[in-house]
Amino acid sequence: MRLRWRELFTSKVAAEAHWGRWDFVALGLAVFAVIWVYVLKLKTFYALGYTSDLFVSVQAARSWLEGPGLLQDNCFGNLLVSHTYFLLLPLGFIAKPFGAPGLLFLLAASVGAAYFWATRILRLLGVNGPVAVVAPAVILATPLSVAFYQEPGFGFHVEVLAPALCLVLFYFLLQQRMIPSIVTALAVISVKEDAPIAAAMVATVAGVETWISSAGKRPWCRLNRPAAITLLLSVSAIPLLLTISWSQSPTMYARHSVDRLGLVAPVSLSSPGALFAFVASNIAHWLGSSAVRQWLWIMIVGSFGTVLLRPYYLVVGVLTTIVAWLMNRNDLLWTPRFFSTEALLWCITLVGFASLARAAQHSSKWTRIAALTTTIAIAAWSISAQLALVPHAYWAYRLGPASFYSPQERQQADELFARYRREGKPEEPVVASTWLFRYAHDRNLFWLDRMHGRPAPIWILGDSADTYTPLRISSDTINPGSGIRIEDYTLIDRRGRFVLLRKKK
């Protein structure tokens, strides 16, 4: 009994997990997950379920391949002013030829990668093949994970790739492979200016699990040196990335990230040092905030309670809430805020599952049956609690596209804007209502509420009943703040609520 209880609170980290038939099963299921997710994402894309940020990512990813420069788009301008999205740069090789569907495929591929590497991690932690295949599938199918990858409304942010990269990093750190760990850590850090927090969380978990799994050895032999190096890289990367962003000149539509914080007035923080000083002087406010309280509940239900086997991770893990607290928008569960917590949840849940599985191996048959029954009950409770946190995940379980338009309206839009797709040229500027971006040639797609200093569009794709007023366009009205004169345009055709206009020659 003593051995079983001890197994619950420790890890057994192997130097290598040899391939077996269950690993091939996991690989096959990972490929199936990629196809499944991609089909669902494409269905929503073609059902007009995505807007804005997906197309910002497409433009920013390939801008350096087309001339405008690094991380340039037609919405914000210089995206580097706000975020250090350096991982978008290599994604440009996919975004340039394939556009938005290419980025959606990368998202689907990251889902499959997360599943596969999670199975490899469990194998490394001493879990047998069947459990290693099933457990990550359960985690991936939970409402929190589904909502994270679902990204309703936007479809894609580069942060959605971070958990998969973090799991690869976790695997290499558990193996204590220095070069692969550093390379993968740099990939994680390149996601965004606060992504080093995610890398640091993974390094912390790997370092602690390695330490407690090698009890009895000398301290130097217990130290996970790649994890220590990754932690140092992460800590040093945050001020560096903030400095890079701060060195960029703000534009009308792109402000420095610290100037968009909800807790302080714009321009009140003059440097990264001032930001760190503000956080240090408001630690009590941060730890007592609603963001931290919500996060604690998320960590419990999101890990199926396994975080209680290692509650010390809650002490360091609270760092993943710092951006949500600073923004003060009650959006902790939004993918760009949640990705660090999602990565931490994966790591904690995997080591917790591994501990439970190993402990069960040393138990009697009836004890294993009781443990399995308890696990199913906890899983059901956890999934129910998660669904209450992210009710919009329900749409993903229905396997149907989340769209604001009826099938008849989508058919009308397809028929109308097919003419634009035939006659419009990629180099001709175009603006569109909120949910019609999919039809536009995205290279010269512009945002109607951000037209200052931008060329007048040749084409206008309008929705006269758009719920977002600044992007509502009819045959005779348009956002006056855009500077566009509707009388300069000819109505080409109209279908229901949709209109197609072209600039007069």
Checking if the pLDDT of 108 tops 90, the result is: yes
CA distance 474 to 495: 11
> What pLDDT digit, counting tens, does each position of 397-448 carry?
887 778 889 999 999 999 999 999 999 999 999 999 999 999 999 889 999 9
Instruction: Work out the mean pLDDT of the chain and round it to a whole number.
Output: 91
* Three-state secondary structure readout of 211-272: HHHCCCCCHHHHCCHHHHHHHHHHHHHHHHHHHHHHCCCCCCCCCCHHHHCCCCCCCCCCCH
Question: pLDDT tens digits for 67-87?
Answer: 878 999 999 999 999 999 999
Q: Which of 38-47, 51-60, 268-277, 458-467 has the least mean pLDDT?
A: 268-277
Is the separation of the CB atoms in 197 and 322 below 8 Å? yes
Quote the tokens at residue 313.
Answer: 């991770």
Q: What is the pLDDT of residue 5?
A: 57
Tokens for 198? 């995610």
Reported confidence tier of residue 1, pLDDT bands at 50, 70, 90: very low
Give the integer Cα–Cα distance in Å for 57 and 91: 9
Strand boundaries in 374-444, DSSP class E: 430-432
- Please write the tens of the pLDDT for every residue from 340-370: 999 999 999 999 999 888 777 766 777 778 7
Q: Residues of the chain with pLDDT > 70: what percent?
A: 97
Q: pLDDT at position 7, please? A: 62
pLDDT exceeds 90 at position 6: no
Cβ count near 237 (within 10 Å): 22
**Nearest residue to 294 via CA among 256, 329, 265, 336:** 329
- Residue in the block written with tokens 């910002």: 56
Give pLDDT, residue 3: 43
Span 257-285, average pLDDT = 83
pLDDT bucket at 306, cuts 50 / 70 / 90: very high
Whether 43 shows a pLDDT value over 80: the answer reads yes
Give dist(CA 380, CA 453) in Å, integer. Answer: 54
C-alpha span between 312 and 21 (Å, rounded) = 36
CB count in 10 Å sphere of residue 285: 11
**Separation between Cα atoms, residue 104 and residue 41, nearest integer Å:** 7
Regarding predicted confidence, which is higher, 10 or 292?
292
Amino acid letter, 325:
W
Q: What is the DSSP letter of 486?
A: G
At residue 10, the pLDDT reads 67
Expressed in angstroms, the distance from the first to the final Cα of the chain is 85
Distance in angstroms (rounded) separating the CA atoms of residues 176 and 466: 53
Which segments of 35-177 are extended strands (E)? 72-73, 77-78
| CA atoms of 341 and 316, how far apart (whole Å) | 11
* Better-predicted residue by pLDDT, 421 or 374: 421
Phi, psi of 84 (to 5 degrees): -90, 70
Q: Is the pLDDT of residue 128 over 90?
A: no
Q: Which of 46-55, 102-111, 252-261, 487-496 has the lowest mean pLDDT?
A: 252-261
User: What three-state secondary structure class fits 474?
Assistant: coil
Q: How high is the pLDDT of residue 275? A: 87
Would you say residue 90 has pLDDT above 60?
yes
User: Per-residue pLDDT for 120 more than 60?
Assistant: yes
Query: What is the pLDDT, as a whole number, of residue 179?
Result: 97
CA distance 244 to 69: 16
Structure pTM?
0.93
Q: Which residue has the higher pLDDT, 15 or 64?
A: 64
Nearest to 304 by CA among 222, 386, 399: 386
Distance CA 192, CA 162 (A): 9
Question: Sign of the CA dihedral 450, 330, 395, 29?
Answer: positive
Return the structure tokens found at 115.
Answer: 């599943």
